[in-house]
Amino acid sequence: MHRTHIKANQPWWRINWRELFEYRDLFWLTVHRDLTSIYKQSVLGPLWFVLQPVMTTVVFTVIFGNFAKMSTDGLPPLLFYMSGLVLWNYFQGVLNGAASSLMSNAGVLRKVYFPRLLPPLSSVVTYLGHFLINFMVFLGFFTYFLLHGSDIHPSWWILLLPVLVLHCACVGLGAGLWLSAMTIKYRDVSFALPFLTQLWMFASPVILPSSNVPAKWKWIVAVNPMSGVIELNRFAFLGAGSPDRTILIVSFLVGIALLVSGLFIFNRAQRTFVDTI
């Protein structure tokens, strides 16, 4: 005999990981949908995955390298900016995907039940595909400069790349869950998000290395969870700079705190989400 057991909602501090696993098929369908729909009706299609990071790097090289004459720690400007952007773009994609997850799926969430945590989690895998393409582009330029005798010195720290990518996913997901929960009550957050991410990028060593940051602003670099991973990635592949151990430790601790707190805040907000939209 089939029985349906109806019970009260679980406390907001308890996340039902088993339920997420049971909806794994929907998770992968969501990832596939997001990957195939982004540039589906564009003329260049998937080629934008390659063009976007290259064009952004070229713009940074011309504006900040040639015109502003900002230091790149003696590295080729193209490699300097691309080594930072390859991780930043992944973080930003996860952040934006998680932050807009509830509002962009509001129509479906009103009609069909599935774990609300599923859409923001799917953005982690969706933008991982974007990262892999961007990283292959970076490797192409990296190999070219390496074979042509540029002053770059890769090291065994490259092996830590999966850890750095995981950290970017945690920070992006944690911050995105916070913003998603805030958007339910304050819709202004969604309009401010592009501005906030731009500010965050300028506070990260994407454009300017940490070694050139004035001493009175070093604390911003220290508490920024993206600072340590970008500097370490640049050091691992290009051999420039010396990542500060304190900044690395603080970056990872802040990233973990963002993720854990974001999960609980989101889990609390999503319980009444349908009633407030």
CA distance 264 to 13: 6
The predicted model gives 101-116 an average pLDDT of 74
User: Does residue 1 lie within any of the structural domains?
Assistant: no
Which two three-digit tokens encode residue 128? 């991982």
| Structure confidence at residue 8 (pLDDT) | 45
Nearest by Cα to 275 from 9, 7, 5, 22: 9
Q: What is the number of other CB atoms lying within 10 angstroms of the CB of residue 20?
A: 16
| Structure confidence at residue 166 (pLDDT) | 94
pLDDT(234) > 60: yes
CA 209 to mean position of chain CA atoms:
19
CA distance 209 to 206: 7
The predicted model gives 3-13 an average pLDDT of 54
User: Does residue 37 lie within any of the structural domains?
Assistant: no
**What confidence tier does 176 reach under pLDDT thresholds 50, 70, 90?**
very high
- Report the share of the chain in percent with pLDDT over 90: 20
- Higher-confidence residue of 3 and 227: namely 227
- State how many domains the chain has: 1
Domain span including residue 179:
18-31+45-276
pLDDT(60) > 90: no
User: Does residue 94 lie within any of the structural domains?
Assistant: yes
Q: Structure pTM?
A: 0.87
Write the CA distances from 95 to 3, 31, 51, 156, integer angstroms: 40, 15, 21, 29
User: Does residue 4 lie within any of the structural domains?
Assistant: no
pLDDT(91) > 90: yes
User: Does residue 110 lie within any of the structural domains?
Assistant: yes
User: Does residue 97 lie within any of the structural domains?
Assistant: yes
User: Does residue 40 lie within any of the structural domains?
Assistant: no
- Report the share of the chain in percent with pLDDT over 70: 87
User: Does residue 7 lie within any of the structural domains?
Assistant: no
The predicted model gives 218-225 an average pLDDT of 82
- What pLDDT, in 10s, does the model give residues 78-88? 899 999 999 99
Q: What is the number of other CB atoms lying within 10 angstroms of the CB of residue 143?
A: 10
| Structure confidence at residue 9 (pLDDT) | 56
